[in-house]
Amino acid sequence: KKRGRRKCKMALAEQRAMLEQLMQQLPGADPNANKSFEDEDVCKPYLCGLCPREVFTNTKMDFGPCDKLHNDDIREKYLAAKKEGKRFRFEIEFEREIEKIVNDCDRRIKSSEKRVNKGEESAPVVAVSEAEKDPAVMAIAMEIEATLAEAEKKGEEGDVDESMRLNDKVKELELKKMVAQGEALKKLMPAESKEEEGESEGPSRKMIFHQQKLRVCDICGAFLSATDSDKRLADHFGGKLHIGYLQVRNKVEEVKVSALMPQFFAIYCIGVGRWFALHPCRVNC
């Protein structure tokens, strides 16, 4: 009898597997319907709520395209398993990955802040308005204005790709303008200051930091100028790189809080237990 039952179960399992294969071949059928979230080709960071490769696409921190599967139905299966209190090894690997991204960014921020502060402390004071009158600087400034106007026009017309391309060009022109301003300021420097800076080609980095009054974004590490317009600042804070780092930092904090919750609950239970131990009469009542 037992052997007969086993054979029957095996036959039913085979029939079920064949039926599932046939169902997947039907038009409109989801090929990932029976996929497990623990499969190798499933993106584990996406299951945990954030895939860095997806977040930083088309930025200077682009890790390349994610070759793993992103599927919301599979993620629902993972979340259901999480509700049952299950813990998986890939969650620990994900936590280490996003913490490394934040730590690397924080190191860059500290390094950039030191460079800015050093430049501001040691740079000689020169009138920035004089550098703005330099022909090369004025030509670049006019090109920036024209490019911004064209980018805004393309955005209103619905040509998003061209608008983004022009905005990227503006960023390149801003850097070019910084170099030109540095060169102009260098010409205005006193002779003794030039000797201290040396005869190296190109503008002094200290001068650029000083004349731009730069500060470092504490989220993504980008340089921001005190003279930036509201639109430029809005473009930065709404940029993909800044938002990407903000998402990663929020996720790190979320993971830390979720890790501490069981400890808080345990402490709470111990406290309640001690209270009842000290007040037995109230429990009897």
As a whole number of angstroms, the distance between CA 61 and CA 164 comes to 17
**What are 60's two structure tokens?**
């200077």
Tell me, what's the pLDDT at 202? 46
CB-based contacts of 149: which residues, under 8 Å, 6+ apart? none
DSSP state of 69: B
CB-based contacts of 29: which residues, under 8 Å, 6+ apart? 23
Contact (CB, 8 A) for 33 and 18: no
Tell me, what's the pLDDT at 47? 93
As a whole number of angstroms, the distance between CA 273 and CA 262 comes to 16
**What are 248's two structure tokens?**
């990663």
The size of the chain, in residues, is 285
* pLDDT tens for each residue of the chain, 285 residues long: 555 566 666 677 677 666 655 655 555 555 666 788 889 999 999 999 999 999 998 888 888 889 999 998 899 999 999 888 888 999 999 999 999 999 999 999 999 888 887 765 554 444 455 666 778 888 888 888 888 888 888 877 888 788 778 878 887 887 787 777 767 766 665 554 444 444 444 444 444 444 457 788 889 988 887 777 777 888 888 888 999 999 999 999 988 887 665 555 455 555 555 655 555 555 444
Helices (H), the chain: 2-25, 44-47, 52-55, 72-83, 89-122, 128-132, 135-157, 160-188, 191-197, 205-212, 230-237, 240-278, 280-284
Tell me, what's the pLDDT at 99? 94
Tell me, what's the pLDDT at 100? 95
Residue 223's SS3 state is strand
Question: What is the pTM for the complete model shown?
Answer: 0.55
Cα–Cα distances (Å) from 68 to 44, 46, 47, 64, 198, in that order, read 8, 9, 11, 12, 52
